[in-house]
Structure 1
Amino acid sequence: MSLTVLIPWRSQPSRIAAFDAVATWYRTHFADVEIRTVDSPEAVFNLAQCRNLAVAGVQNADEVVVINDADTLPELESLLAAIAAAATSGVVHLPYTEYRWLGAAGTTQYAAGRPLVDCDFELVHGACSGIYVATPATWWAHGGQDERFRGWGFEDAAWYLAHATLLGEEPRRHSGRVYALHHEPQLRAGVQYDANAAWMERYRAAVGDAISMRALVLARLS
């Protein structure tokens, strides 16, 4: 099976091992996989912009692609189910119902050969990021992700609300787990984080109002 995997990526020493693990997982499970890394041109890493740029680089609007964070591993069966469904559904698919953060202990266990499902973890409630499965046509149908969220925080939650409001349903989940590997955490505080939080309130205010939500999204695209 051929597959294109898009990974937002800016190299940092503590993240290299996780990135290598993600790349190895895909090369192990897919004989014909193309892994494309995308960085944002800004000095401050912009995860939403990376995802948008990655999808914009896919020429076939109907090709199903996997947008995969550089630290997150899926389970094969749920990923395959998401890939199959995303071709015709018109919505984005999340290949998990459970998001496990392995932390330092669980990540060390995995590196030593323990199966992912048996590694120590913390459950992240309400997760809506990590791995997306979609066609470019679907990604752009609700505006992609908002690049006004810079640094870290809220871009995934805002996207989730826009998807639900503009496409008429939440992203579809497939039963299974994803596993986030340990690395040095990013600072989620300060002026930029506060600005992201304030912008997120605009999205919350537009929930269920397609006209307001579309205007919010189009303001970024214009």
Structure 2
Amino acid sequence: MPPSPGPVTVIVPWRPAPSRVPAFDFVLEWYARYLPEFQVRTVDTEDDVFVLAACRNLGVAMADPDEVVVVCDADTLPEPAPLRAAVEAARTGGLVHLPYTEYRWLGRTGDAQLRGGMPADECAHDLVLGACSGVYVTTPRTWAGHGGQDERFRGWGFEDAAWYLAHGELLGQPPVRHEGRVYALHHAAEERAGARYEANAALMQRYRDAEGDVVAMTQLVAGSRVLSSS
């Protein structure tokens, strides 16, 4: 039988960066105000660059196998009701849940409106179509069942899109979405260029090539845990 519901841990991958601190602080305040029953903790690895996939994997692995864990980016705000619904649904079924059907990037204007007291759903924003990042709800057993996220994506870019393809291929269907919104706060954009970014793009292409081939995807995912296991 699944464990009885208790406090839910929110894992926030976090390595301090000056432009990101205001967003991080606002995310902590958001949980304290709107989701006080959730326990927030940060996680980082000892790698020389920030590896978001490795942080997510490590944070999930810290929980008991059937405990529900929320993985929330340090710049992303979930709506309370969809997140609570996703937590309850993720206790069974063996799939990762996304507590949103809309991913709204607030940008500088929307971020300022939010901080000025405007309701989040009224703030100026850009709608990010196809988004599959920001907030995940899962159990460690489910996360491990499709390999988690690929730690070979170093720095920024593509780890979420690759994970989405692996989830669909290895678990038989995409992550479950719950009607609602998440809001991405403004901060300085990370550089998405150079040798590391190009390596990430090449790895992402391997995931696209493996889509529709469960054997190829299984083999690809098998090599994905290279940092947190070291």
Q: Deviations over 1:43-78 (max 9, x none)?
A: 1110001101111111x1111110000000011111
Residues 146-161 of structure 1: matches in 2 within 5 Å? 146-161=150-165
- 1:89 aligned counterpart, secondary structure: coil
Q: Alpha-carbon deviation of 1:33?
A: 2.6
1:189 equivalent in alignment to 2:193? yes
| Alignment partners' CA distance in 1, 2:93 and 2:188 | 37
* 8 Å Cα contact 2:70/2:138 also seen in 1: yes
TM-score using structure 1 length: 0.96
Distance 1:215 1:118 in 2: 45
Which runs of at least 4 in structure 1 moved beyond 3 Å after TM superposition? none
Which residue in the other structure is 1:130 paired with? 134
Tell me, yes or no, if structure 1 residue 4 matches structure 2 residue 9: yes
1:211 aligns with 2:215: yes
Q: Of the candidates 58, 64, 67, which is equivalent to residue 71 of structure 2?
A: 67
Deviation larger for 19-28 or 91-100: 19-28
Q: Quick check: 1:163 aligned with 2:167?
A: yes
Choose the corresponding residue for 2:206, options 169, 178, 202: 202
Counterpart CA distance in 1 for 2:180 and 2:37 is: 23
**Tell me, which stretches of 5 or more residues in structure 1 are unaligned?**
none
- Name whichever structure is richer in helix by fraction: 1
2:48 is equivalent to residue 32 of structure 1: no
Q: 2:89 aligns with which of 85, 89, 92?
A: 85
Paired residue type of 1:103 = G
Of 75, 95, 113 in structure 1, the residue corresponding to residue 117 of structure 2 is 113
> Which residue is equivalent to 2:177?
173
Tell me, yes or no, if the aligned pair for 1:45 and 1:151 is still in contact at 8 Å. yes
Q: Structure 2 stretches of 5 or more lacking a match?
A: 1-5
**Alpha-carbon separation, structure 2, partners of 1:84 and 1:33:** 13
Q: What letter corresponds to residue 157 of structure 2 in structure 1?
A: G
Matched residues in 1 for 2:110 and 2:48: separation? Answer: 32
The offset of 1:208, in angstroms, is: 1.7
The alignment of Structure 1 onto Structure 2 pairs a total of residues equal to: 221
Return the offset for 1:114: 0.6
Secondary structure in structure 2 of the residue aligned to 1:88? coil
2:53–2:150 contact (8 Å) kept in structure 1: yes
The residue that corresponds to 2:28 in the other structure is 23
Identity of matched residues, %:
59
8 Å contact from structure 1 (residues 40, 47) kept in 2: no
Aligned partners of 1:3 and 1:30 also within 8 Å = no
TM, length-normalised to structure 2: 0.93
Q: Paired residue for 1:94, among 98, 106, 118?
A: 98
Q: 2:190 corresponds to which letter in structure 1?
A: Q
Deviation, 1:7, is 0.3
Task: State the distance in 1 between where 2:169 and 2:90 align.
Answer: 19
Which one-letter code corresponds to 1:62 in the other structure? D
Q: Residue deviations 1:129-154, cap 9 Å, x none?
A: 00000001000000000000001000
Question: Residue 2 of structure 1: CA displacement?
Answer: 1.8
| Amino acid in the other structure paired with 1:164 | G
Instruction: Name 1:14's counterpart in structure 2.
Output: 19
Aligned partners of 2:48, 2:109: CA distance in 1, in Å? Answer: 32
